[in-house]
Amino acid sequence: MNWRSMTTPSCLISLLFILVASSSGASEIPRIVAIGDLHGDLDATRRALRLGGAIDHDDNWIGGQLIVVQTGDQLDRGDDEQEILDLFEELRIQARQAGGAFHALLGNHEIMNAKGDFRYVTEGGFKDFEDAVHQDSADSSLARYPQLERARRAAFLPGRPYALLLAERIVILQLGDNVFVHGGVLPQHVDYGIDRINAGTQAWMRGEAERPEILEGSDSPQWTRLYSDEPDSSACAVLGGVLKQLGAKRIIMGHSVQELGIDPACDSLAWRIDVGLAAHYGGDMQVLEIIGDEIRVLKE
C-alpha cells in the first residue's frame, strides 16, 4: 500500500489528470476521486470537484474517464442544497457521456430528509425549496405541517421530486477493490445483501415500499461509526472480515469529521474522508485519489 499527502495547485492537478488519462493503463486502472461530506456548501463542492480534476470553472465535466464518488451528506447545515443536487445530476449525465462516472451516495442526512426529519435544515435551506416544486394547496398530507416545512416535504418525502432524484442513488458502492459508503459496512449488512439494501432504499425513496429496517439505528450503513471514529483491534478485525467477504481491499467513508484531515485506519483498510470541508465546520479542502493501490490525499 502506497499513500502520501500532497498539496497540489490546480494547474498541476489538471496536468496530473492529463498524464493519467493519456497513459496506456488508464483504461485498465481507473482514476477515482472520493469526496466527503458537503452539507449544503456549493462553494466547497465546486472547490472539491476542481481539486479532483472533475470540473472547470463553468461547472462542466472535464474529467473524461474519471470516476467521482461523493460519500453522502449533501444535505443539511448549509443553504445551497438544491444547487448541489441539481449540479450533481448534471454531472452524472455529463460524466457518463464522457466515459467517466459520477456517483453521489446516500448519507444519513439524505435519509433523514426523506423521513421528514429536518432538525439540521437551515432557514435558507427551507426557503431554498419554496419555489422548487409545485405544492398542491389541497394536499392534506402537507397541510398539517408548519408552513415553513411544507415546501421541503413536498420536495423530499418518498415519491416527491427530489426524493425521486435521490432514488437514483445507492447506499453502498463497490468499485473493484474499493467499497464506498457513508458510515460503514458491517457483517449484518453483507449478510442482508448489498444489492438488497440499495434496491430497498431506492424503492422506498420512490414511494413504492416501506423504509427498510436495515436503515434504522446506529449500526445502519449510513449511521455506524465503528471504523470512522478510533477503531480498536476488534473493530479492525470486523472490517477485515467484511472486506474479505466482499472481495475488497479497503473501505472509504465519510460521516465522522477528521479534524487532522483525511486519515487511514486499520492498517489502511479504512479511509476516513470527511474533513469537514463545508463552511459549517471550516475544515481544510482535501479529497482522496485512488489509482489501483496508489492512494493520495490531494489538498488545495
- 56-83 pLDDT, tens digit per residue, is 999 999 999 999 999 999 999 999 999 9
| pLDDT on residue 19 | 39
Is 109 a residue of the active site? yes
Q: How far is CA 130 from CA 109, 125, 170, in A?
A: 20, 9, 27
Structural domains in the chain (count) = 1
**pTM greater than 0.95 (yes/no):** no
Does the pLDDT value for residue 1 go beyond 70?
Answer: no
Under 8 Å between Cβ of 173 and 202: no
Which domain covers residue 75, as residue numbers? 2-299
**Alpha carbon distance 5, 262 (integer Å):** 9
Domain holding 150: CATH number?
3.60.21.10
Of 39, 103, 109, 182, which residue is the catalytic one? 109
- 102-154 pLDDT, tens digit per residue, is 999 999 999 999 999 999 999 999 999 988 766 665 577 788 888 889 999 99
